[in-house]
Structure 1
């Protein structure tokens, strides 16, 4: 891993970042048409008008000229599965048969460290190609999968969160751990990888049906022992899954309350999906500051349901966006915004483009309790940022050439953009992806 950076780096482009939720504030974002981003020692030094900052640049600092482009904080994907990379776009009639037919057999191969490393290398590069600089990642049940992922991330000096899946029932024997071994392995991985460089660990029960009550209880104890780790799992994704949980946990009020009972609802908990939560569930989400990863491409692909933004916002819940690869069908957060917009419309609400970009940057950082570390251009934040090309494709160029507002520009990027719109990706001030020669 290289941490060597120039004493100061400067980037000229239009700058966009957020300091509040556009759904709650009319002054939530900063948009600087001709801006300058200054980076020093891998962190943001300043972000402001070019005319104001350029004159104060130290002698010899070259300015990377990205005029005509938009620089934003790197995208943050709060829910996806790196072992499912090779099975993306696999057909299935629903979540549970899809898991049995494709997911579990594919994940079996991750007991092989060489295989885990190979997939992790591709997976991380694919994230960067799509402008994602931080992700909350599910590995497989195997320790080797966690090592393979974090090795790839650490080598690129990325801010990533990941964890070994805990799964001690209702899965094939070749993927089954035990309640004690699974949590013991997780603790050893926490001590190995959590806060190692920019890596962070997530305690990761796959979902309630594949963990015994004993395993969930031990996972809760582990979370209490390591309160600055993350927790990630799935909840209320699919009606058949919800029905199954009611059968397995008949003494709990709801699917979500199973996790709360075992101490798995707190700050830094990220629940994937949350499609079928009720009002009391949403109140508990807000009260505990647990967060939601909304996964529209996956929910549409598997027919799981439509996320209710209006109800979640009414409860004051923390929201972010996840691609959910490989149930999700794209690594692109722009394409994820595209589908989120349509899901909101089908549920009778509306997501402005500014809100979608917020959810993929500062909103995600807030959901992860990492505001000030990632997700904005606040002074001292880690310099993870992307350069977006509004003319990346002929159609984008044609549409954005007559955009009459920032909202129109961002909406076109969200609805028409994909990996081709990401001109460059920087992590801790270092170029880690470029579509063109640097």
Structure 2
């Protein structure tokens, strides 16, 4: 049995601020102790209360100029798009054809997929992300490469093979039968192996025939606790395309609903252009939305209506959507989320921001009993933020009046440089190198 403790300022969310108010949504210890035993959090509290209770043999690692919080949770990201991040100047459908599909064609090569998976995972950890819901490509090799990579570091990750049998280049399409067969093989190999989970992953409605969407629903029925991961109502032209392809469906979400793809582990990326009936249906089925502000702004898709999702009590997590998104950093993504909400005449509080990047993401993934907080008996996935990360951050934090203002500084000025260390199950998986 291995026990270790960390001493620093510590914060985590314990509830959704939109339901209980900011003041009741988090616990904060200006001088706190986090105690971890064999990868599980055992104690969290004020240093004055806990230090005297620790066994003399327990190592206490001190971080006086830092802030500890739960590891970030990215609820929508494409690992095969790592090398095309920042691709210039297109709307969604043109962007897919010009950049995305050619890049994804390379992932039939397992060696290439492994190389990208390793660099992708390093970027996640360097940015404090400890769990992500991840798109692979249509190739089985892409999913094997990803899971093999993250398994080595004992990360809690979710991934799936893209299902895509039309409206894409021939070199990237499968069939309803092959997508079912390949996905089933991957599920049997990887789903719930250690901390790994599988997501049935039709790319989006336009690239799957009704027959393939039926096969996706069949997989969800055949295996327990699978995820469903796809896109929904990201772009106006996309929504019109869906109408023409599925004239018998009432709306975009109904396409998925008719094939039994909605449920408590279904996560739909974007959800910008939804009608009231779609919000109602997402709520009724327990489905979640991934809010991807950086990508939505970069590709010009629109502004996500967080207030509507809250009004309908829909679980919402935060997604970077790399490579449509231009940063792996959920801190940077929160800065963009703030602007998206501002443009709609609303405000995104620092506590709600922390919630979206941690506990909100965990709830969207139905993993809140394992990750997303620092409560005792949850898994010790956490990050240590550096209050001296940059001269500007250090100067601003020296003048803040409370923890909420400090959080706002991190989410508006922070990026990968703010991450001092990242931990998975109590083991350090990233440490910032200080340049002399």
TM range (shorter): over 0.9
Q: In structure 2, what is the Cα distance between the partners aligned to 1:229 and 1:202?
A: 6
Match of 2:142 in 1: 145
Match of 1:311 in 2: 308
Aligned partner (choices 28, 40, 44) of residue 43 of structure 1: 40
Match of 2:159 in 1: 162
| Contact kept? 1:171, 1:210, Cα under 8 Å | yes
Aligned partner (choices 199, 216, 235) of residue 196 of structure 2: 199
- For 1:1-12, what aligned pairs fall within 5 Å after superposition? 7-12=2-7
Matched, 1:83 2:77: no
Structure 1: unaligned runs, 5 residues or longer: 1-5
**C-alpha deviation, 1:246, in angstroms:** 0.2
- For 1:246-261, what aligned pairs fall within 5 Å after superposition? 246-261=243-258
| Contact kept? 1:309, 1:349, Cα under 8 Å | no
Aligned residues: 432
User: Helix, strand or coil for the counterpart of 1:24?
Assistant: helix
CA displacement, residues 368-420 of structure 1 (integer Å, 9 cap, x when unaligned): 11111011111111100000012200111111110011111100100000000
Match of 1:33 in 2: 30
Match of 1:120 in 2: 117
- For 1:331-370, what aligned pairs fall within 5 Å after superposition? 331-370=328-367
| Contact kept? 1:135, 1:161, Cα under 8 Å | yes
| Contact kept? 1:207, 1:234, Cα under 8 Å | yes
Deviates more, 1:239-248 or 1:193-202: 193-202
CA displacement, residues 66-112 of structure 1 (integer Å, 9 cap, x when unaligned): 12211000000000000000000001320000000000000000000
Aligned partner (choices 405, 408, 413) of residue 411 of structure 1: 408
Match of 1:239 in 2: 236
| Contact kept? 1:116, 1:149, Cα under 8 Å | yes
**C-alpha deviation, 1:260, in angstroms:** 0.8
Match of 1:422 in 2: 419
Q: In structure 2, what is the Cα distance between the partners aligned to 1:250 and 1:227?
A: 32
User: Helix, strand or coil for the counterpart of 1:30?
Assistant: strand
TM-score by length of 1: 0.98
Give every structure 1 segment of 4 or more consecutive aligned residues whose post-TM-superposition deviation is greater than 4 Å.
Answer: none
Aligned partner (choices 329, 349, 354) of residue 326 of structure 2: 329
Structure 2: unaligned runs, 5 residues or longer: none
CA displacement, residues 276-301 of structure 1 (integer Å, 9 cap, x when unaligned): 01111111111111000000000000
Match of 1:20 in 2: 15
Q: In structure 1, what is the Cα distance between the partners aligned to 2:402 and 2:314?
A: 29
Matched, 1:105 2:102: yes
**C-alpha deviation, 1:47, in angstroms:** 0.7
Matched, 1:215 2:212: yes
| Contact kept? 1:83, 1:140, Cα under 8 Å | yes
CA root-mean-square deviation: 0.8
| Contact kept? 1:383, 1:426, Cα under 8 Å | yes
**C-alpha deviation, 1:58, in angstroms:** 1.4
